[in-house]
Amino acid sequence: MKLNIALLPGDGIGPEISQQGHAVLEAVAQRFGHKFTFREALVGAAAIDAVGDPFPEETYQICKEADAVLFSAVGDPKYDLNPDARVRPEQGLLAMRKRLGLFANIRPVQTFPALLHLSPLREELVRGADFVCIRELTGGMYFGEKHEGRDEAWDTNRYTREEVERILHVAYQMARRRRGRLTVVDKANVLASSRLWRSVAQQMMGHYPDVETEFMYVDNAAMRMIQEPRYFDVMVTENTFGDILTDEGSCISGSMGLLPSASTGTGTPLFEPIHGSWPQARGKNIANPLAQILSCAMLLEHFGLIEEAEAVRRAVNDSLEAQVCTPDIQVPGVEPLGTREVGAWVAERVFAH
């Protein structure tokens, strides 16, 4: 298979982990006889510094013409700590999602047997946890009408029936491929937008009789994820709730450096780790590249390259079992390795096994 892949390293540790994802995809291509071509582009603070725009037109065109985007992270303290900054790195991420039509964010949450001790929850609670969070990505408060004044501010949480229907279709189809259970997370007892979500879901249930549908308030879902993470199969929710719940879900595995994600919709699909840019670690060779590498597995799976995706996941699991780990997940008494060393180990494993 031939794939054209846009590489968007972004800021902070982004370039370091991007290199490892790139190397793993090259190893996949060599082992399985594929041809992957890569074009790198600017996004986030790096793009602001270079051209004054966090998502330049040239980057958009490179993404638009690609088969997939492998993105890393954006964010920089010089913008985060400046409340008067009108152009911010994160605006590039929002613009990218909107312009590429990426309305569905898919985040698998799972545990790794070798790392159960790292979870803040008891091992008996998290062992075997395996669910998927599907977050609506281009609507709600993040994109609604806003006002920011000196004494008053507001954000409008607006959704249309079409926006809700299309994300629910993605969630139902995911549930069909998994264990057949879908949890629709909302706040319908308080929010009008949530009542629209619930109404639309109730109308759609009959089209998916093979999927068990339940409704859960977001505060209850947040508690249930901690008390009983194995309860969930697929959950779907709106943009703001999804942003919070998926970060909470990352704690179940023990490290945000382990969880990948995919964003799909009407344009070029995008694959990225869920963690941020961690600018304090930039250039120190300590960032965990595994979430970026597992995002590559999701990329391969998206194009039907199932054997290739499994080869990547096996290599990651092998690295964890062999304690080939960066400092954030290393066990006491074992010397941690760097970003480059872990990435090289996984890439070699993919190629050789």
Q: Which residues are catalytic?
A: 142, 187, 219, 243, 247
- CA distances to 91, 267, 334 from 66, rounded to whole Å, are 21, 10, 41
CB environment 18-45: b (16+ within 10 A), e (fewer): bbbbbbbbbbbbeeeebebeeeebbbbb
Burial class (CB in 10 A: 0-12, 13-18, 19+), 283: exposed
DSSP class of residue 186? E
The kind and range of the H/E element at 181 are: strand 181-186
Question: Which has the closest alpha carbon to 140: 240, 246, 263?
Answer: 240
Given a contact cutoff of 8 angstroms between Cβ atoms, the answer to whether 274 and 250 are in contact is: yes
Give the integer Cα–Cα distance in Å for 250 and 202: 29
Given a contact cutoff of 8 angstroms between Cβ atoms, the answer to whether 238 and 137 are in contact is: no
Cα 100–104–110 angle (5° rounding)?
130
Given a contact cutoff of 8 angstroms between Cβ atoms, the answer to whether 344 and 23 are in contact is: yes
What count of other Cβ atoms lies within 10 Å of the Cβ of residue 155?
Answer: 15
Give the integer Cα–Cα distance in Å for 333 and 330: 9
Question: Which position has the token pair 């250039």?
Answer: 283
- CA distances to 143, 154, 244 from 157, rounded to whole Å, are 8, 10, 15
Give the integer Cα–Cα distance in Å for 276 and 342: 19
